[in-house]
């Protein structure tokens, strides 16, 4: 993943079709954030988000399908549904992204 600045006025990426354009006075606009003017660092971060989203959605979409949900259903439920109780979950060892949990 790499964001490239071309001629101090255009940012592109080799991993997403989204772009950022300079609008002068150190402001940038990003193709998927219409109406917002960002700093250069914010525009780079926005393009990095656009680079990261497709692989993440592909992975989550496949998992959602396994439980009979669409991608948007799974994301919405995981974000909005409350846990069963107010007790914090017991601390467990941290899995790295992509590792499979063992079910006993």
* Residue 26 belongs to a domain: yes
pLDDT digits over 75-85, tens only? 999 999 888 87
Looking at the structure of the chain, the number of domains it has is 1
The CA distance from 92 to 48, in Å, is 30
Q: Closest by alpha carbon to 70, among 79, 61, 78?
A: 61
pLDDT digits over 60-80, tens only? 999 999 999 999 999 999 999
Structural domain boundaries enclosing 33? 3-79
Which residue in the block uniquely carries the two structure tokens 């992509």? 98
* Residue 95 belongs to a domain: no
pLDDT at residue 41 is higher than 50: yes
Phi, psi of 23 (to 5 degrees): -115, 15
**CA atoms within 13 A of residue 17's CA, in its CB half-sphere:** 0
* Residue 57 belongs to a domain: yes
What pTM was computed for the model?
Answer: 0.66
Q: When comparing pLDDT for 86 and 21, which is higher? A: 21
* Residue 88 belongs to a domain: no
What's the confidence (pLDDT) of residue 104? 42
* Residue 58 belongs to a domain: yes
């Amino acid at each position: 993943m790499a964001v490239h600045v071309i001629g101090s006025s255009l940012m592109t990426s080799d991993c997403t079709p989204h772009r950022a354009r300079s609008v002068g006075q150190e402001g940038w606009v990003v193709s998927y954030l219409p109406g917002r003017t960002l700093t250069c660092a914010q525009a780079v971060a926005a393009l990095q988000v656009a680079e990261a989203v497709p692989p993440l959605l592909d992975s989550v979409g496949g998992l959602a399908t396994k439980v009979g949900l669409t991608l948007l259903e799974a994301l919405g439920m995981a974000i909005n549904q409350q846990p069963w109780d107010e007790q914090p979950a017991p601390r467990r060892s941290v899995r790295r992204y992509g590792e499979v949990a063992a079910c006993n």
